[in-house]
Chain A
């Protein structure tokens, strides 16, 4: 039993452990540079799109390993349209940025509906439907851009969605109490307070929920495990908060990522739609025969992916301060890789938002670490490829092991039954 417990533990936390190891390793390689506050900060804002697109991609992958190849092009298209709108004068003044934001989200939605319709109702294979989108939407974006970059200058837009130096949550508490100084940096108090509140909230939730479950008579994890887990999470949260506070505080992009992740974590785990996504990916026929409209489920997955691609385009043009013909090239691959590194099955039915977070973070850390260590770009790609295959291999090996264990288990059960009969 001990061995199988270890295996289970590894299976569940391997990628998390790998991420931690990689973070520490790069810390050493770069002489601590990759752990500097500004690096941590950049890690988030540079990879914001991976988290958002990875979330959408997860929905598609859950429905049966289906992917969306078009997201990079959609980011480019929606971003271009948004940037052009913000630079357009109407009645003598620039069009307000919220309109551009709404249009970008709507574009994403429309693209999602477009894909969803073909894939779910006409049964065009997702690979082909989205390959069409990948080509067509990039072309369309280039037509709108006339092949040139369009600069985004709207300060308010960038402040809200995170781009330049000012894109941080203002330190509301700056003048409350004495200034906190650490390592030569003045700490952002709002950030610290947030981190502490989050940590406290997490601890409270964990234990209140635990008490509730025990009351209802459910099985709960071993208390020691729970405490260790909680302590680790709190430590990471506080460390993370401290790092951000030492720089410029909470990047606005972080708030948006957290929001998207939270909403979709909720959707995937606590709603019928989420349940249906897993069921369709696990066994489409059985799901249909259970009275669930599987077409609608597929349609929803691609529609939400579209909206998220639209949203990612907002973050991307805010961060880059421009829209351009090559914006978003290869984004789909980052998103797909994040899902698979995070343990999503290429056949659908398994995967989680937590996995996407780990996958996206691991990729981001490796990217950034290699950048700081001045690894040539082409080598970086090779390394990323190797990481992906290792992650998937690990998953496959663990599954084979589990099956082997299962067979033995089944034999035990049958002999028990046989004994009971006689």
Chain B
């Protein structure tokens, strides 16, 4: 048995209100590629942040044994000195600096007072060769593609004398060829340099391709560790571990909701990335939603769900948008959020703090922001009494916990902020609400209340599109589910026929893995039959 390089014992990490990690154990042997898999929010990234010292010693319980000694990391520098290097999902490179400058940023070569640029670039070239990148280290980062940038990140890590390399979703922004190249590089580094690696990934086919061991994390706990030496690890096997929980009555039932006519319809919708204009972020998507219906869109992060929603909502995301949007059967063109709101659309963002709320303003001001016409005379003179009345009404209706409507939204808890955000859009009185991850980062009790609000909206005849990366939530709350992966809708099914496994299979199947091909086809047929029934 190989030497154990890293052991994380009973790691528990609590954020205010949430237990992100609960007694997690992880054992990594020297020279292996160890994969961490789990749903969004399962705690993978948190665990790696604990390991790399981003959450310093004392903010968590349990201990880290690395290379035979107990480690107390106070910051990233501490862990890097030991050779633990983390490469984050978002690349941390400065676009207008050269590859070499980026690689040695914070680790400059030469003496303290003078950077030795010759040494810098020579060293950089050496590591670039190691990762198989032939570009000169004097090339600007902005001039190379994301695939190569990812390689630069790895070279940068190697330059720090990494012994344990952590890759967080390294292929999330890469195309298939680049992804495969990256995985092969990982295998090569393992073989030739004896590097130990931990990879976090959603893409199960990649995981089973590259990993020696796979640890499944679910709801902040380690579920199991599978060893590819002992057994052939199929994706189905991994999925079972990932979603193994039962769906209980965490979701309130909807009664007596009549599903009416098609309210909104999107056909052949294609959207390009605003910066990388050749990249499709939404690819020929067609969806529809009926009055009183809750339609779930399931997909992992980066599948293009938010991009789809925002591009529909007055083209607030993306460029080169093409396709047809129909409201109540009539084709419409919505060029701004303002027009979208006028047409009866609402987009409740997944990013409460960034795109949703004005944290420095009060509940009252946030509640009326999307519909100031509704509380003013002539759209100019605000009626403060009416505003207070409205804000008060929604605070009571949604049971927002706050001392008064004058409370700053920034002072509320996540769940209550989400309620204020919902209140804002409910007051705008839309026909179609697109809820993007409506329960992200809020506790179970508040989640239930949000679900009740969604049910009330459906009951009131509104059309609700709920984007979520939580499978139980999608299955429990939707009437119908679209499955989205890599910019495309890859499946559609009735919620009553959906299981976590067959939804996941759709997502895995896109890669065209032969092992799952049959299953995927079977499901596709299912989806088609659902469509013809509907």
A276 to B369 CA separation, bound complex (whole angstroms): 8
* Closest chain B residue to A421, Cβ basis: B445
Minimal beta-carbon separation of A192 from chain B (angstroms): 34
Known: A279-B358, A410-B413. A289 touches B365 (CB 8 A): no
What's the least CB distance linking A65 to chain B, in Å?
12
A287 to B370, CA, bound (A): 8
- Contacting pair A421 B444 (CB below 8 A): yes
Return chain A residues, CB-CB under 8 Å to B342: 291
Binding stretch for chain B, among A179-187, A236-244, A303-311, A412-420: A412-420
Closest to A406 in B: B411
B397 at the interface (CB under 8 A from A): no
A278, CB-defined interface residue at 8 Å: yes
Contact check, B445 vs A275: say whether CB atoms are below 8 A apart.
no
Compute how far the CA of A274 lies from the CA of B382 in the bound complex, rounded to whole angstroms. Answer: 10
- Tell me if B380 and A272 are in contact (CB < 8 A): yes
Q: A388 on the interface (CB 8 Å rule)?
A: no
Whether B17 and A414, one on each chain, are in contact in the complex, defined by CB atoms closer than 8 angstroms, is yes
Instruction: Specify which chain B residues have a CB less than 8 angstroms from the CB of A123 in the assembled complex.
Output: none
Tell whether, in the assembled complex, residue B381 and residue A293 are in contact, meaning their CB atoms are under 8 Å apart: no
Report Cα–Cα, A216/B446, bound state, in Å: 30
Q: B372 and A275: CB pair below 8 A?
A: yes
- A103 contacts chain B at the CB level, 8 A cutoff: no
Nearest chain B CB to A402's CB is how many angstroms away?
Answer: 8
Partner-contacting stretch, out of B65-73, B332-340, B516-524: B332-340
**Complex CA distance for A380 and B50, rounded to whole angstroms:** 52
Interface string of A346-371 (1 = CB under 8 A from B): 00011000000000000000000000
**A-to-B contact residues, CB < 8 Å:** 216, 218-219, 270-276, 278-279, 281-283, 285-293, 345, 349-350, 406-407, 409-411, 413-414, 417, 420-421
CB < 8 Å neighbour of B357 from A274, A276, A281, A283? A283
Docked complex Cα distance between A349 and B365 (Å): 12
> Chain B nearest CB: distance from A87 CB in Å?
40
Is B313 an interface position by the 8 A CB rule? yes
A121 CA to B347 CA, complexed, in Å = 25
Q: How far is the CA of A68 from the CA of B385 in the complex (A)?
A: 34
Q: Is the CB of A279 within 8 A of B365?
A: yes
| Distance between B214 CB and nearest chain A CB, rounded to angstroms | 33
B314 contact set on A, CB distance < 8 A: 291
Cβ of B365: which chain A residues have Cβ within 8 Å of it?
275, 278-279
Instruction: Please determine whether A273 and B337 come into contact, CB atoms closer than 8 angstroms.
Output: no
Report if A292-B16 is in contact (Cβ < 8 Å); known contacts: A279-B358, A282-B360: no
Which of B354, B360, B361, B372 is within 8 Å of A272, CB to CB?
B372
Given A271-B376, A286-B356, A293-B336, output 6 extra A-B contacts at Cβ < 8 Å: A271-B381, A272-B372, A282-B361, A290-B341, A349-B358, A410-B16
Partner of A349, one of B316, B341, B361, B379: B361
Q: Is the CB of B340 within 8 A of A291?
A: yes
Does chain A have a CB within 8 A of B81? no
Q: What are 8 A-B contacts with C-beta separation under 8 Å?
A: A219-B404, A271-B381, A274-B382, A286-B349, A290-B369, A406-B411, A411-B17, A417-B446
Find chain A residues with CB under 8 A from B413 CB. 410, 413-414
Best-buried of A285, A293, A406 by chain B (most CB within 10 Å): A285
Tell me the minimal C-beta distance from B427 to chain A in angstroms: 11
**For the complex, what is the distance from the CA of A421 to the CA of B413, rounded to whole Å?**
16
Q: Which of B357-414 contact A (CB under 8 A)?
A: 357-361, 365, 369-370, 372, 376, 379-382, 384-385, 388, 401, 404, 411, 413
- Known contacts A279-B361, A349-B361: A290-B337 contact under CB 8 Å: yes
A349 to B357, CA, bound (A): 12
Which residues of B lie under 8 Å from residue A420 when comparing CB positions? Answer: 445
| Any A CB within 8 A of the CB of B443 | yes
Q: How far is the CA of A283 from the CA of B352 in the complex (A)?
A: 11
Interface residues of B (CB under 8 A from A): 16-17, 313-314, 316, 336-338, 340-342, 347, 349, 354-361, 365, 369-370, 372, 376, 379-382, 384-385, 388, 401, 404, 411, 413, 424, 428, 443-446
Other-chain contact of A278, B316, B357, B358, B385 (Cβ < 8 Å): B358
User: Do B359 and A282 touch (CB < 8 A)?
Assistant: yes
What is the CA–CA distance of A414 and B18 in the complex, to the nearest angstrom? Answer: 9
Hey, which chain A residues are within 8 Å of B372, CB to CB? Answer: 272, 275-276, 292
Contact A270 B384 (CB under 8 A): yes
Alpha-carbon gap, A279 to B341, bound state (A): 18
Residues of A contacting B361 in the complex (Cβ-Cβ under 8 angstroms): 278-279, 282, 349
Given contacts A407-B16, A410-B16, A414-B16, contact A288 B358 (CB under 8 A): no
Assess whether A288 is in contact with B316, with CB atoms less than 8 Å apart: yes
By a CB distance below 8 angstroms, the chain B residues around A421 are 444-445
B338/A285 in contact, CB under 8 A: no
A419 to chain B minimum Cβ distance, whole angstroms, is 11
**A290 contacts B360, C-beta separation under 8 Å:** no
The chain B residue with its CB closest to the CB of A219 is B404
Are B17 and A417 closer than 8 Å at their CB atoms?
yes
Give B498 Cβ to nearest chain A Cβ, in Å: 28
Asked if residues A410 and B17 are in contact (CB atoms below 8 Å), the reply is yes
Q: Which residue of chain A lies nearest to B345 when distances are taken between CB atoms in the complex? A: A291
Cα(A417)–Cα(B401), bound, Å: 11
Once the chains are docked, how many angstroms separate the CA of A173 from the CA of B347?
62
From the candidates A272, A289, A293, A417, name the one contacting B355 in the complex (CB within 8 A): A289
Contact B355 A286 (CB under 8 A): yes
Question: B17, A286: Cβ atoms under 8 Å?
Answer: no
Partner of B338, one of A270, A291, A345, A350: A291
Q: Which 3 A-B pairs have the closest CB atoms?
A: A282-B358, A414-B17, A290-B370
A417 engages B347 (CB within 8 Å): no
Q: How far is the CA of A332 from the CA of B318 in the complex (A)?
A: 39
Q: Shortest Cβ distance from A308 into chain B, in angstroms?
A: 19
Give the residues in chain A near B376, CB-CB below 8 Å: 271-272
Complex CA distance for A288 and B360, rounded to whole angstroms: 16
Q: Whole-angstrom distance from the CB of A240 to the nearest CB of chain B?
A: 29
A349 to B314, CA, bound (A): 25
Evaluate contact between B358 and A286: CB separation under 8 angstroms: yes
Give the distance to chain A from B286, nearest Cβ to Cβ, in Å: 24
Q: Which residues of A contact B381 (CB under 8 A)?
A: 270-272
Q: How far is the CA of A379 from the CA of B106 in the complex (A)?
A: 42
Within the complex, what minimum Cβ distance (angstroms) separates B446 from chain A?
A: 8
Contact B16 A411 (CB under 8 A): yes
Q: Given the complex of chains A and B, what is the CA–CA distance between A248 and B355 in angstroms?
A: 55
**Are A289 and B380 in touch, CB under 8 angstroms?**
no
Residue of B nearest to A276 (CB): B372
CB distance from A408 to the nearest CB of B (A): 10
B337 & A289 in contact (Cβ 8 Å cutoff)? yes
Could you tell me the distance between the alpha carbons of A218 and B443 in the complex, rounded to whole angstroms?
Answer: 31
Given contacts A275-B382, A421-B445, contact A293 B358 (CB under 8 A): no
Asked if B336 contacts A289 (CB within 8 A), the reply is: no
Which A residues lie within 8 Å of B355 (CB)?
283, 285-286, 289
Q: Assess whether B358 is in contact with A218, with CB atoms less than 8 Å apart.
A: no
Q: What chain A residues lie within 8 Å of B369 (beta carbons)? A: 275, 279, 286-287, 290, 292
Given A289-B337, A291-B341, A410-B17, decide whether A270 and B360 contact each other with a Cβ distance below 8 A.
no
State which of B316, B336, B341, B380 has its C-beta within 8 Å of the C-beta of A271: B380
Contacts of B349 in A (CB 8 A): 286, 289
Nearest-CB residue, chain B, relative to A288: B337
Query: How far is it, in angstroms, between the C-alpha of A279 and the C-alpha of B362 when the chains are bound?
Result: 10
A289 touches B444 (CB 8 A): no
Instruction: Verify B357–A286 contact, CB threshold 8 A.
Output: yes
CA distance A271 to B382 in the complex (A): 5
Chain B residues with CB under 8 Å of A289's CB are: 313, 316, 337, 347, 349, 355-356
